[in-house]
Amino acid sequence: MAKRKIGQFEINPIGLGCMGFSHGYGGRPDEATAIAALNHAIDIGYDFLDTAAAYGMGANERLVGKALRHRRDEFTLASKCALGATREGGRAIDGTPEGIALTLDQSLERLGVDHIDLYYLHRRDPNVPIEESIGALARGVEAGKIRSIGVSEISSDLLRRAHATHPIAAIQTEYSLWTRNPEIALLDTCRELGVTFVSFSPVGRGFLAGAVDATTTYEQGDMRGPMPRFNAPNLAANLALLDAFRAVAADQGCTIAQLAIAWVLARDPAIVTIPGTTNAAHMDENMGAQDVALSPARIAELDALINQTTVSGSRYTPAMQSMVSTEEFA
């Protein structure tokens, strides 16, 4: 599959979300295993890696830096600010210019690099005009600490305001067969403005890869634990969709994870996706999705099977939803 663009960078359309090595899910590998897996990712062609200051309160950036700073010229590096440790030592959203400047310097130190290729505003601070937060990132560009600016989990209107302040290279939000919110307005706005759309969780936090069943329990700290889609009564209804999904994958000659990723990539020739995994074999599997060619009829079949009307439960709890401003279906 041809490379796709984020700002000045040309990358493989399938990148690697690194969060799971330090945050969000259970079963994290030890450091040596994690470092080996990250290097394996580069070895097999991953050239766009995504981390954040919030993941493990800086631990994920330190891990990525330790594992890969010696291979810095082999991949495009993305990280994020404004969500995580505050200047006072707590955990919150801080989109103030002062908070962003501090987090940027801390990110550079943890990663062991002199610049970050794509630095996102991880969450919009509701107490700070987005123009002020983007302005702080623009000063990071002027200082040579950031190559390009991204935003995450914001609405189309906020994207327009951010882009009017400084060119936005990419917006990142959840997008998959079972999370269609970007189709309301955001994908169209990205096409209009020339902003690359980066899809995270293309396999539905493991659900569309078959990692969840009726017996699954979640370790403490696993973000899926409270999510409505992963709990009764919604879980049983959602699991009922997987038999047909598996049958489609078998007919297509691929795994269900590959089918889910291929669907995302087929939505638009400019979309980039960053499935997250800590498992080298799953990295191989996910990368194989770029060889799965879906016909228009197959895409229509998948669209009808799993969509916002057939999936049960919201993607976030009310508390988690309050931290994002993406459009929601009625």
Return the active site residues.
55
Query: How far does Cα 239 stand from its chain's mean position?
Result: 23
* Residue 219 DSSP one-character state: -
* Distance separating alpha carbons of residues 323 and 146, to the nearest angstrom: 25
Return the sign of the alpha-carbon dihedral for residues 45, 205, 182, 129.
Answer: negative
Identify the H or E element spanning 159: helix 156-165
Residue with tokens 């902003």: 195
Backbone angle region of 178, left / alpha / beta, with phi > 0 → left and psi within -120 to 50 → alpha: alpha
Phi, psi of 123 (to 5 degrees): -140, 145
Please tell me whether residue 198 adopts helix, strand or coil conformation. strand
What number of other Cβ atoms are within 10 A of residue 136's Cβ? 23
3-state secondary structure of 175: coil
Phi, psi (deg, nearest 5) at residue 226: -90, -5
Whether 264 contacts 258, CB under 8 Å: no
- Dump the DSSP string for 70-97: GGGGGSEEEEEESEEE-TTSSEEE--SH
Residue 236 CB-density burial (10 A; 0-12 exposed, 13-18 middle, 19+ buried): exposed
CB 95 within 8 A of CB 104: no
Starting at the edge strand found earlier in the chain, the sheet holding 116-121 runs 16-17, 48-50, 76-81, 116-121, 146-152, 168-174, 196-200, 272-274
